[in-house]
Structure 1
């Protein structure tokens, strides 16, 4: 049994692989400095993965000032000793960790005097006037980046993150002008709105959109050759998908729910472990490839106060894209992200010159990247890592069970096609410029297609309808030619 276990570990280590972009000397130095790390870390991840009967992928890296120092990948293929496509060059979605890139981009433009972060929104986007209900002269670009601008729009947020839109920045600005909430307090209130609007400002002053600027100003200088803000730049089947899983059915849904139109300045980058290691090492080193010393200091220093605890991280501030927090009496900068089961962790401890990257895509295990990041930090910092993990795992266990117990509609509840049900087929439009809904037949069932998302239609317990769209689930009802979902009203368009 011990021999079999050792062979499994060898296969796991081999399957993780390396690439031409890794630094063998740095990984060798890490092994010499922390000779027990690999075995201890890998055994712990494997134990948890098997204990929870997990699906999907887990991939992890330690990064220091010299770049990638250690990496490890695990999924069911690797556990079974099979060759896996999961390695350091596999495309993964980093979700809201994009915000740290956008903050850096705007700081680069500020450093180059293309714009001034202390100037007002009104100076750069006068067309964004919030229907004259908010004085945009009191909102700076820095406020947009550190979430103290106070504005929020449901329609703009849903379109950019989930549903898509066709009218460019003009449509999004119209949404902000006509459908918004406002908190005048100036307090930190996290949302996608600020960085997306900051991206619009960058486009206005440069004539290039956010995606192009990211490539020119960050990805290319750092030689992040496998990183992009375009889904279409990747072979779609190679991007690690979201997995919706529960204890009764295993994998319920499996897909990647992003397209080019929903890749935005608050959550719109696909990258790899190798490329993200370059990004993280640059932040640890604060070298002058992107920014000078003063600019790095502002980028990593709190510009807004927050007093929140997420999992084990007590957050005290927010810079221009990083949460400023504390873990085990160490200062730590973090930027997490998630989407429909995907959970992404990137963080670093400035005083220790070390950081970690972690990714998983089993929706039940969204805390796993954070749990294992902490475990790695505690091994490196010579803390009682196993004892601390046993304490922290309690929260992970509870969240895993909660997700594992969720019931999802099965095929017995699917709305089957017949002449009576066919009356719901059609195109439905909303007068407030929300994306069109289309209902059509596919095989023996019906599809609910809202913007760029779609899913099968089920009968719900109230006799109406439900559709799981991957990133969200929508209840809706149809009466004659009217469709309502939540507070949104739609009318069928007659041919």
Structure 2
């Protein structure tokens, strides 16, 4: 393994456009040539795929061992076209659902210190969550909340916490779940955001500190993750890597970062940097007791639920308390990915080889690129025929790319033009238990504002409209001061 890790320390003269070394032991001999060759292959493969598919946005990949980042590579159009880029391992980006691995670790830490017991039940901690008597919460353990076997699903909770925003009060979240839920009594593995969010509410109740405070105190500070936060407001918004939505004509439809503090939650609510995430991933690789003991790490990383799902090239057979456990080319690999509005985050490691990958992309059509390139690096390190393997994997990659590339987006030619007749639709529309929708005039067009999301309004057909908020495309109709979208009905507030 030492020899394989040695390949990752790179000579500076070989990184003219995308790859960057961290300090290593390159002495100009044969070892240095191997290091050159290793990242030169990665650099060229990234450039080839990026150009072949006309990707926009950013891409970054880093290799991590027990000590942190060994080397990394970046690419975007600025780099390809010879312009300056500020993309590097200190660039903040949203890790989306990899947040679940952090929350799982937090809950294991609280269990270890005796603050709560993961084998106890919701009813032991959260009587306010009662589902109107429709579910027996004495049958649902805290562990099952973290491994997706709890069986609880709530559309309202998911939309408000991830997309739209809400008051920020746990009482509102609990009311949403109590009154809007679906329950699967089989307790089979079914992935959702609900369990981790409920677990975080329990953690707040037993500690008196909210999830964001606990993450900082228990994980970010001990690991010296100084540029990691659960609040968007802690960053210069212009520096967070934005998602980029691209049309089939390779035109940028929208670009931006659409999260607010209120939509940063325990299932998807961390912004970090590659350098900081390398400290987190390295701690997982070595099971660092600065956070918790080996028994707790094993609890986090070992299968506590069975699954039989394939994602891209990964045969997932288990789930720990925040990590998917899968097989890839004969290796057991732990992964926890994340995606949001075009951003795709890959974080994985192979425990036996004590090596991991961090990668992310921001072009919506490139959501599999972090996984494709992570595989390429793993295969190079394992001295497999990486070139043949990536050619095979590219077949599935192309299929996924074409599906995204062929998506339709509202055309500017159909933008609803502002005029006296159309002004009649402006106003605030309300319904019970959901954020209000505001139709607001802005210059020569109108905006659809739902909670924290906003998008221009386009004509869909003679009787309906559509909007692209960057996160979701939403169709709606307005008739007699009533707004219909999906199954929801909003009534215009006529008060002046």
Fold shared, TM-score > 0.5 on shorter chain: yes
- TM-fit CA distance, 1:200: 0.4
Contact residue 242 and residue 340 of structure 1 kept, 8 A? yes
Contact residue 27 and residue 68 of structure 1 kept, 8 A? no
- TM-fit CA distance, 1:470: 1.1
**2:313 — aligned with what?**
312
1:465 lines up with 2:470 in the alignment: no
**1:3 — aligned with what?**
none
- TM-fit CA distance, 1:171: 0.5
| 3-state SS of 1:24 partner | coil
- TM-fit CA distance, 1:410: 1.6
Q: Which residue, out of 13, 17, 29, partners 1:12? A: 17
- TM-fit CA distance, 1:11: 3.1
**1:444 — aligned with what?**
444
After superposition, what is the alpha-carbon deviation per residue over 1:98-148, rounded to whole angstroms, capped at 9, x for unaligned? Answer: 000000000000001010000111111110001111000111110100000
Pair 298,265 (structure 1): closer, same or farther in 2 beyond 3 Å = same
- TM-fit CA distance, 1:195: 0.4
- Name the CA distance, whole Å, in 1 between partners of 2:81 and 2:26: 26
User: What pairs up with 1:131-210 in 2 under 5 angstroms?
Assistant: 131-210=132-211
- Name the CA distance, whole Å, in 2 between partners of 1:152 and 1:456: 31
Unaligned runs of 5+ in 1: 1-6
**2:295 — aligned with what?**
294
**1:413 — aligned with what?**
414
**1:24 — aligned with what?**
23
State which drifts further: 35-44 or 106-115. Answer: 35-44
Superposition RMSD in Å:
1.7
After superposition, what is the alpha-carbon deviation per residue over 1:25-65, rounded to whole angstroms, capped at 9, x for unaligned? Answer: 48999967754210001100000111111111000000011
- TM-fit CA distance, 1:461: 3.0
After superposition, what is the alpha-carbon deviation per residue over 1:434-455, rounded to whole angstroms, capped at 9, x for unaligned? Answer: 1100001001000000000010
State which drifts further: 76-85 or 29-38. Answer: 29-38
**2:82 — aligned with what?**
81
- Name the CA distance, whole Å, in 2 between partners of 1:394 and 1:177: 45
**2:41 — aligned with what?**
40
Contact residue 26 and residue 66 of structure 1 kept, 8 A? no
- Name the CA distance, whole Å, in 2 between partners of 1:256 and 1:41: 28
**1:403 — aligned with what?**
404
- TM-fit CA distance, 1:404: 1.4
- Name the CA distance, whole Å, in 2 between partners of 1:95 and 1:75: 21
Contact residue 415 and residue 459 of structure 1 kept, 8 A? yes
- TM-fit CA distance, 1:295: 0.9
- Name the CA distance, whole Å, in 2 between partners of 1:345 and 1:444: 41
- Name the CA distance, whole Å, in 1 between partners of 2:156 and 2:368: 29
Pair 293,81 (structure 1): closer, same or farther in 2 beyond 3 Å = same
- Name the CA distance, whole Å, in 2 between partners of 1:487 and 1:9: 57
| 3-state SS of 1:229 partner | coil
Please report the TM-score for the alignment, with normalisation by the length of structure 2.
0.95
| 3-state SS of 1:69 partner | strand
- Name the CA distance, whole Å, in 1 between partners of 2:454 and 2:153: 26
| 3-state SS of 1:61 partner | strand
Please report the TM-score for the alignment, with normalisation by the length of structure 1.
0.95
